[in-house]
Structure 1
Amino acid sequence: MGRGRAKAKQTKVARELKYREFNTDFNQLQRELHGDDRLSSADGSDATTGESEDFDDPYDEPGNGSANRR
């Protein structure tokens, strides 16, 4: 017992999702997925490539030298 309110809310949300009109910009989605050149940084480098040497990985094996890097 006591599931009535939760089930009613789930039904309401499911109904809203089923009948809602979505205005999806598929061109924007395609640019995001394929990497638009205009979205890269001004100097031409990609901020997501390369690792930061200042980052100390807590899961790195001890004695691996990652914590001793300077």
Structure 2
Amino acid sequence: MGRGRQKAKHTKIARELKYDTYNVNFSSLEKELGHSDDDQYVDKWADQYSDEYEDEKA
């Protein structure tokens, strides 16, 4: 592909990304990513170190 055709293709793609509006279904995206408002952060390593540092606090 020549440089002129390549540049025209990139320009076309850039215009599509800039000016086209895309409908995004955010609830579907959250489900796909596995994020839910009910989920809370759980530190799976917290119980391993809690006893080790309790002596230093006293």
TM-score interval, smaller chain: 0.5 to 0.7
Counterpart of 1:5?
5
Question: 4+ residue stretches of structure 1 with deviation over 4 A?
Answer: none
Distance 2:7 2:31 in 1: 39
**Please, which runs of 5 or more residues in structure 1 have no aligned partner?**
37-70
Distance 2:5 2:23 in 1: 31
Distance 1:35 1:10 in 2: 34
Letter in 1 for 2:34: H
Q: Residue 31 of structure 1: CA displacement?
A: 0.9
**TM score, norm. by length of structure 1:** 0.44
Q: Residue 18 of structure 1: CA displacement?
A: 0.9
- The CA RMSD measured in Å over matched residues stands at 1.8
**Please, which runs of 5 or more residues in structure 2 have no aligned partner?**
37-58
Distance 2:19 2:3 in 1: 24
Letter in 2 for 1:26: F
As a proportion of its length, which structure holds more helix?
2
**TM score, norm. by length of structure 2:** 0.52
Match of 1:22, SS state, is coil
State the number of aligned residues.
35
Distance 1:32 1:9 in 2: 32
- Percent identity among equivalent residues? 57
